[in-house]
Amino acid sequence: MGEGINPQQEPLTIEPGWNWIGFNYYENNSLMRAFADLQPLNGDIIKGQHAFAIYNEDWDGPLTQLQPGLGYMYKSVSSTSRTFCYPTVERSDNRLLLPPVAAMPEPEDYHFLPVSYTKYPGNMTMLAQVMMDGTLRDDVEVGVFAGDECREAAWSDGGYYFLTIPGEQTEPLTFRVYDGISEYVAATSEPCYYYADEHYGTPEAPFIISVTTDEGISSSAVADGVRIYPTRVSSRLHVRDSREAALTVQLYTTGGALVGTYQADAGRLDIDCGSLIQGIYIVKVATADGRMQTKHIVRL
């Protein structure tokens, strides 16, 4: 049969951004133990086919263990390469320890029934919170849809919704929320798009799914009179307030990094986006009279 692999002698290099990694071990390992030698940074992400976790002083999320024989993707927020080894194998004999299979939630646990994650070749991830009638809710179920097809369903985990959304091509996503009695359904006013290996939200700046129970769901809290356009930006982003209140606009990456803060006194602001790299950004608008709005834009 040959000699077994000693993970301590098989270093792995993690480059900035996404990396494919295997897990050449003999049994399941917790994320903390598996990546102890790597010394993860806040904002690092590990994902499998149907679950992920994000590092924030500790690993948070439904993905809690690495399982031998499966592949994973690791997103490093570091600007430099990092090399690490999995922990030393400690076994009393040479038998291969087969990992237990984690139980998947039963269908009856969910109101929404997503398609199998094996239907699509890729996925994207999202760390979200639900704002329902102005109040944060962690006791509702969230469903993510592409058209009429449910791609993901989740309950809150520590106040956050960890959504791993399978897909293949760029397409708009909508959200539905079920509170145990009623299902609130509406297309988002400004669609969130599926992009392979994209990630929305951080513990500090989660993606907000805002629900008004008599009107449905929007992708952000709506500030009356405020317009942010266009959604797909090639050069300049425009922010307009019909009430002509002073504006403060902040632009973030989906990883939570602040790109810039902009201000205007009379409800009219034009932001030059020509120097931004292509990708998705989060625009947060606050007016002097207390209204707020958040929107995702795409830099073409």
CATH code of the domain containing 126: 2.60.40.10
One domain, residues 209 and 113? yes
What pLDDT is attached to residue 136?
Answer: 87
What pLDDT is attached to residue 55?
Answer: 97
Distance CA 62, CA 164 (A): 10
- Residue 17's domain comprises 7-84
One domain, residues 214 and 256? no
Stretch 271-299: mean pLDDT: 85
- Of the two residues 20 and 240, the one the predictor is more confident about is 20
Distance CA 278, CA 233 (A): 10
pLDDT at residue 169 is higher than 50: yes
Stretch 192-215: mean pLDDT: 85
Instruction: Report residue 71's pLDDT band, with 50, 70 and 90 as the boundaries.
Output: very high
One domain, residues 208 and 232? no
One domain, residues 132 and 203? yes
Distance CA 82, CA 17 (A): 11
pLDDT at residue 24 is higher than 90: no
Distance CA 18, CA 73 (A): 6
**147: nearest Cα among 176, 126, 117, 118:** 176
One domain, residues 197 and 172? yes
In a domain, 33, yes or no: yes
24-27 contacts: CB < 8 A, separation 24 or more? 24/68, 24/86, 25/66, 25/68, 25/86, 25/89, 26/68, 26/89, 26/91, 26/96, 26/97, 27/68, 27/97, 27/99
C-alpha 189, offset from chain centre: 20
Domain count, the chain: 3
Q: At a CB cut-off of 8 Å and minimum separation 6, what does 155 contact?
A: 141, 142, 161
3-class secondary structure, 9 = helix
In a domain, 117, yes or no: yes
Most distant pair of Cα atoms in the chain: their distance: 76
3-class secondary structure, 73 = strand
What pLDDT is attached to residue 222?
Answer: 42
| Beta partners for residue 22, in sequence order | none
The answer to whether 41 and 76 are in contact (CB under 8 A) is yes
Distance CA 72, CA 197 (A): 12
What pLDDT is attached to residue 76?
Answer: 97
CA atoms within 13 A on the CB side of 20: 4
What pLDDT is attached to residue 94?
Answer: 42
In a domain, 150, yes or no: yes
The answer to whether 217 and 188 are in contact (CB under 8 A) is yes
The answer to whether 86 and 24 are in contact (CB under 8 A) is yes
pLDDT digits (tens, 9 = 90+) for 242-269: 888 899 999 988 777 899 999 998 889 9
One domain, residues 260 and 214? no
One domain, residues 234 and 201? no
Exposure class string for 131-154: b at 16+ Cβ within 10 A, else e: bbeeeebeebbbbbbbeeebbbbb
Rounded (5°) CA angle 221-122-49: 90
CATH number at residue 232: 2.60.40.1930
pTM over 0.85: no
The answer to whether 25 and 101 are in contact (CB under 8 A) is no
One domain, residues 116 and 66? no
